[in-house]
């Protein structure tokens, strides 16, 4: 090409590399061309893949999003032709009853979508029932791990989403006013009872002091109270037992060396003296190796840590045991790209505090935050709720008879 056309050798080599790349991609044609329809794989031979319903599927849900989480699975399972049993959390049985009042109006054939209530024993009955072929679980990691193991041992397919301990990393080039607002919403929204809630903030370099000052102010000014009051920003935690557990973990963090710079314990909300309220809490100075630093608090508690550079921040993120979400706050594209590739989590936020995927993306999760392979929502859900069947057919020309 250089002799004939005149371009420099480096350009000729580059052109040829591009030609070779096309040959390599074209070698994948059997896969690239494959649809779910008939393929003429050899003379007179077709191969097709069909998807069929898995059968009876069960959904076991947690307390924190009683109406939404079953829908990560229910409409996909139904659209794929399965029948479904839903077991909500025993702590919030009413929301699904409302949903079922609407489902009744669809006049689906009886037995297609079913509701059962109960706790551990009902879960075990579902896991052991031979007719149930697939389990979709969302809850704490210990239970997710247990459910995954027991379902798999019984030969069922299972997708089990577990707990979280989500870090947000704040770089010095971030817009700190916007960042502190977004992080406060992430950490204290839903009273911190959200699997994508920020539960620790890692500040880098000069972001440390200004972020820490801003987040304290946001925490202290958040309005806590009765959720029916439109001016309230944060309601109670789920039970008194949960409140005691969260307050116990704050006390333990302090005993492990942390300072509660905003302390939300012993909250008294006028008119709701018996409510399970914990106000927003910010702790600083918790040693990274301490027990609380690795425990999911699932309450409105943000722990602030400080490191000198982004590599240390990513190392800290990856040293955590959970892998649900990690977010970065920055105005640098290069740092955003590095973070997105290097953090070992299922959902990544860049300047986003709650990186919840839209319904056409899988609700991912990694390490102790997810057991299984196919997730809820989108294309993953279609694969989970269908059984693939591949058919090879031989129809040679000579078998075609004239009538």
Cβ proximity to ligand NAD: between 363 and 385 the closer is: 363
Of residues 89, 136, 364, 377, which one binds ligand NAD by CB under 6 A? 89
Part of the chain binding ligand NAD (CB under 6 A), chosen from 21-29, 51-59, 161-169, 287-295: 161-169
Minimum CB distance to ligand NAD, residue 172 (Å)? 30
247 lines the binding site for ligand NAD (CB under 6 A) = no
Per-residue buried b or exposed e for 60-81, using 16+ beta carbons within 10 Å of the residue's own CB: bbbbbbbeebbbbbbebbbebe
> For residue 284, which of 259, 306, 308 has the smallest C-alpha distance?
259
Minimum CB distance to ligand NAD, residue 55 (Å)? 21
Minimum CB distance to ligand NAD, residue 337 (Å)? 26
Per-residue buried b or exposed e for 124-145, using 16+ beta carbons within 10 Å of the residue's own CB: eebbeeeebbbbbbbbbbebbe
- Say if residue 250 is exposed, middle or buried (CB neighbours under 10 Å; 0-12, 13-18, 19+): buried
Q: According to CB under 6 A, which residues from 277 to 316 bind ligand NAD? A: 296, 298
192 lines the binding site for ligand NAD (CB under 6 A) = no
Cα separations (Å) of 388 from 49, 59, 279?
Answer: 7, 21, 50
Cβ proximity to ligand NAD: between 90 and 308 the closer is: 90
CA distance 238 to 260: 22
Of residues 78, 85, 123, 183, which one binds ligand NAD by CB under 6 A? 123
162 lines the binding site for ligand NAD (CB under 6 A) = yes
60 lines the binding site for ligand NAD (CB under 6 A) = yes
Minimum CB distance to ligand NAD, residue 375 (Å)? 9
CA distance 395 to 392: 10
> For residue 315, which of 324, 304, 303, 307 has the smallest C-alpha distance?
307
Active site residue 195: yes
208-221 vs 176-188: helix crossing angle, rounded to 10: 50
Question: CA quadruple 177, 179, 180, 181: dihedral positive or negative?
Answer: positive
Part of the chain binding ligand NAD (CB under 6 A), chosen from 17-25, 155-163, 260-268, 269-277: 155-163
323 lines the binding site for ligand NAD (CB under 6 A) = no
Q: 57, 80, 190, 195: which is the annotated catalytic residue?
A: 195
φ, ψ dihedrals at 361, nearest 5°:
-110, 155
- Contact in structure between 362 and 375 (CB atoms under 8 Å): yes
Minimum CB distance to ligand NAD, residue 13 (Å)? 49
Report the catalytic residues: 195
Q: Which residues bind ligand NAD (CB under 6 A)?
A: 60-64, 87, 89-90, 119-120, 123, 138-140, 143, 146, 161-164, 195, 296, 298, 324, 363, 365, 369
């Amino acid at each position: 090409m250089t002799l004939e056309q005149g371009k420099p050798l480096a350009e000729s080599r580059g052109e040829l590399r591009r030609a070779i790349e096309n040959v390599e991609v074209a070698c994948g044609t059997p896969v690239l061309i494959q649809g779910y329809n008939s393929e003429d794989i050899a003379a007179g031979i077709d191969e097709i893949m069909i998807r069929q319903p898995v059968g009876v599927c069960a959904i076991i849900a947690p307390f924190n999003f009683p109406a939404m989480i079953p829908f990560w699975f229910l409409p996909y399972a139904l659209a794929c032709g399965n029948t479904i049993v839903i077991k909500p959390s025993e702590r919030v049985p009413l929301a699904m009853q409302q949903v079922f009042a609407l489902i009744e109006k669809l006049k689906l054939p009886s037995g297609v979508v079913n509701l059962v209530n109960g706790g551990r024993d009902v879960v075990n009955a579902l896991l052991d029932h031979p007719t149930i072929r697939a389990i979709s679980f969302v809850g704490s990691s210990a239970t997710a791990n247990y459910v995954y193991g027991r379902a798999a041992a019984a030969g069922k397919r299972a997708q089990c989403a577990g707990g979280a301990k989500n870090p947000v990393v704040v770089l010095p080039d971030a817009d700190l006013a916007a960042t502190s607002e977004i992080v406060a919403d992430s950490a204290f929204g839903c009273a911190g009872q959200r699997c994508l809630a920020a539960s620790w903030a890692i500040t880098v370099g000069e972001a440390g002091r200004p972020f820490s000052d801003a987040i304290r102010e946001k925490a202290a000014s958040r309005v806590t109270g009765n959720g029916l009051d439109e001016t309230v920003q944060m309601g109670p935690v789920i039970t008194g037992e949960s409140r005691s557990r969260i307050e116990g973990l704050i006390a333990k963090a302090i005993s492990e060396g942390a300072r509660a710079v905003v302390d939300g314990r012993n909250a008294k909300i006028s008119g709701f003296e018996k409510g399970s309220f914990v106000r927003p809490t910010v702790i600083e100075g918790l040693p990274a190796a301490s027990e609380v630093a690795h425990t999911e608090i699932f309450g409105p508690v943000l722990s602030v840590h400080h490191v000198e550079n982004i590599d240390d921040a990513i190392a800290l993120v990856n040293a955590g045991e959970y892998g649900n979400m990690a977010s970065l706050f920055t105005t640098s594209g290069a740092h955003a790209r590095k973070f997105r590739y290097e953090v070992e989590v299922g959902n990544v936020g860049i300047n986003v505090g709650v990186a919840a995927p839209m319904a056409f993306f899988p609700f991912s999760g990694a390490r102790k935050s997810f057991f299984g392979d196919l997730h809820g929502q989108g294309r993953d859900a279609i694969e989970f709720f269908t059984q693939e069947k591949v058919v090879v057919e031989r129809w040679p020309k000579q078998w075609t008879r004239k009538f």
